[in-house]
Amino acid sequence: MASVIGDRARDLSDRRVPFVQATVVRAQVPTSARAGDEAIVLTDGSIEGFVGGQCAENQVREAALGALTDGQALLLRVLPEGDVDFPDTPGAQVVVNPCLSGGALEIFLRPVLPPPLIAVLGTTPVADAVVAVSELLGYATVRGHENTSEQWTLGAGAVVVASHGRGENAAIRQALDAGVGYVALVASGRRGAAVLDELDLGEPERSRVRTPAGLDIGARTPPEIALSIMAEVVSVLNAAPAVIPSVVEIESAVDPVCGMSVTILPSTPHLVVEGTDVWFCGDHCRATYAAKVGQ
């Protein structure tokens, strides 16, 4: 299972899809999960893999979606009702699950969010150096082509135009239309102003384009220029509000048998009683309720 989850995590990361990687770090019998079991939780609440039975999944799902929203890892402790001989872990988020038949779980939830994307136009030494420094910082990069209408700036946190006159106007216009917060044009102050004049930008858009690009550190060589640009990019990105993944709002209901809050998904066990949907944590509670109401 671990290798399958690892492959899936790499695939999601490569496609810049946010998710939470969940790993069981402690388990107490008779829980069905074991230390080392893993799963992935996506933004729609779906769970791939195994970190506990149906009774534990609701708590894992809810906590994982919260971790995606705030970007913070957490240790989730899922305990059954009553006294449990399970060593305490300071700082863990604790939930009591009346559905558990016994045992306890500790699950580490780590949100994996795509790194900032830096879009670079040009095949110049400065463009190459910007890509190299960006990747050294752990950012993702994409290269634009000078003669294409492809929307290559979408999703970028910053766009660096370092093509020495080739395709500059179209790239700047596309970046501004895409809402990119930081757009840098590698050019002298005089030539950069001329390019912006050609684009006939209003003051709000003009202020979003840095030219000359980067901080004034007396940079001369391509690596130095790239360093000055990326120092400014880091400053702008760190000052911007965090990008929160679009997490699906999950509806919940209370299991009338055990009293546990359950997440309403297509796979959640339920009955229709006198025209009303009744949701359950698992098949056992559904069967118990069905016998009680004569279904």
Residue spans per domain, the chain: 2-113, 117-239, 251-295
pLDDT at 2: 55
In Å, what is the CA distance from 203 to each residue of 84, 190, 208?
Answer: 64, 17, 9
Per-residue pLDDT at 87: 65
For the segment 239-246, the average pLDDT, to the nearest whole number, is 74
Task: Say which CATH class 117-239 falls into.
Answer: alpha beta
> What is the structure's pLDDT at 189?
92
Q: Is the pLDDT of residue 190 over 80?
A: yes
Which pLDDT score is estimated for 106?
A: 92
pLDDT tens, 198-209? 998 889 999 999
Question: Taking residues 41-67, what's their average pLDDT?
Answer: 88
Entry pTM: 0.75
pLDDT tops 60 at residue 234: yes
pLDDT-derived band at 224, boundaries 50, 70, 90: very high
Residue 28 is predicted with a pLDDT of 83
Tokens of 287: 């069967």
Residue 24: pLDDT band (50, 70, 90) is very high
Report the mean per-residue pLDDT for the chain.
Answer: 87
Predicted confidence (pLDDT) per residue in 66-100, tens digit? 899 888 999 999 888 765 566 677 778 887 776 66
Q: What is the mean pLDDT of residues 10-30?
A: 91
Q: Write the CA distances from 1 to 34, 217, 222, integer angstroms.
A: 12, 51, 46
Which pLDDT belongs to residue 100? 64
Q: Band of the pLDDT at 5, cuts 50, 70, 90?
A: very high
At residue 102, the pLDDT reads 67
- Reported as a pLDDT band with limits 50, 70 and 90, residue 281 is confident
For 109-129, the pLDDT digits (tens) are: 999 999 999 999 999 999 999
pLDDT of 85 reads 64
Render pLDDT for 134-169 as a digit per residue (tens, 0 to 9). Answer: 999 999 999 988 766 678 888 899 999 999 888 999
Task: Decide: 73 and 46 in contact? Cβ < 8 Å.
Answer: no
pLDDT of residue 142: 93
Question: What type of residue is 67?
Answer: A
Q: Read off the pLDDT of each residue in 25-45 and give the average, rounded to a whole number.
A: 89
pLDDT at residue 131 in the model: 97
**Is the distance from CB of 263 to CB of 60 less than 8 angstroms?**
no
Angle (deg, nearest 10), helices 222-239 and 125-136: 50
CB 156 within 8 A of CB 117: yes
Q: CA–CA separation, 89 vs 229, rounded Å? A: 44
The CA-atom distances, in angstroms, between 168 and each of 19, 94, 171, 232, 292 are 35, 54, 5, 20, 72
